Amino acid sequence: MVSGHVEDPMTAEFGTVAEWTAEVARRLGPRYAVPAACRGSGQPAALDWLLAGLDLAPGALLADVGAGLGGPAAYGAARAGIRPLLLEPEHAACRAAAGLFGLPVIQADATRLPLASGRLDGAWSLGVLCTLPTREAQLAMLRELRRVVRPGAPIGLLVYVAGRLPLGDPPEGNRFPAGEDLDALVHRAGLRVLHAADAHGMSAPSASWRQRAEAVEHELHRRFGQTPALRTADEQSERIGRLLESGALAGRVLLLRGG
């Protein structure tokens, strides 16, 4: 169902448009599912870097916190044999992820994960920290990531970090930590950084990946391009893109461990 009313930007991007994206991917075919569900923060080079650093054995249980449609988790399962557990606050995205990939999905707030302590072999969270509205919420999420993994288990993050330039026109609903603020949050959560890299300095996706992602975008805009929800989601993405190009934002991938 196409809604005509203006939604909250975060609900539009991570709920309504996520569900439409999954619908488009199902229509195009199985090969389109992972590129479609990796829209935004799930680029292959960053995922490969994180998977190599996490170094989890096949069958290891990995939580994807703020999993969206589950594309990165499905990519990790195919590449490294991990067993993903998806945790996602938006009901529409949970439903769509379960339908696309058949992976276990729990609707959950990143700051209050409904999991026993020390249950998991690892965790990652991609582009989620900046969507939390306060520094306290961001700290709570990092502490939850540490709590739910076994002692010493690895944690991966992709974080958009504010640079020295003014943000100017930031996307609604986002709070971007500065680099030193992120370091302080990590330390206060009882974590330490093992490795860090610039996500946007990594290699571009393959031509095949780009073609499938572009086919999904084309079909998504053909069907839903005039809806307020997709226009809102596009505006959010375009703002982040401009900030990354200007240097006002930087994407960082981090490998963490409890200290």
pLDDT digits (tens, 9 = 90+) for 77-128: 999 999 999 999 999 999 999 999 999 999 999 999 999 999 999 999 999 9
Q: What is the mean pLDDT of residues 195-200?
A: 92
* Domains of the chain listed by start with CATH number: 9-258 (3.40.50.150)
Question: Is the pLDDT confidence value at 3 over 60?
Answer: no
CA 118, distance to chain mean position in Å, is 22
Asked whether the predicted pLDDT for residue 2 surpasses 60, the reply is no
Whether pLDDT at 4 is above 60: no
Say whether pLDDT at 55 is over 90: yes
- How far is residue 176's CA from residue 158's CA, in Å, rounded to a whole number? 12
Give the helix/strand (H/E) hosting 98.
helix 91-101
* Global model pTM greater than 0.75: yes
Rounded CA separation 254/198 (Å):
9
50-84 in b/e burial notation, b at 16+ Cβ within 10 A?
Answer: bbebbebeeebbbbbbbbbbbbbbbbbbeebebbb
What CA–CA distance (Å, rounded) separates 30 from 216? 12
Report DSSP state, residue 13. Answer: I
pLDDT band at 53 (very low <50, low <70, confident <90, very high): very high
Residue 60's pLDDT is what? 98
Assess whether pLDDT exceeds 80 at residue 165.
no
pLDDT for residue 120: 97
- Tokens at 245, concatenated: 């190009």
Mean per-residue pLDDT over the chain, rounded: 92
Binning pLDDT at 50, 70 and 90, where does residue 259 land? low
% the chain with pLDDT above 70: 95
pLDDT at 1 over 60: no
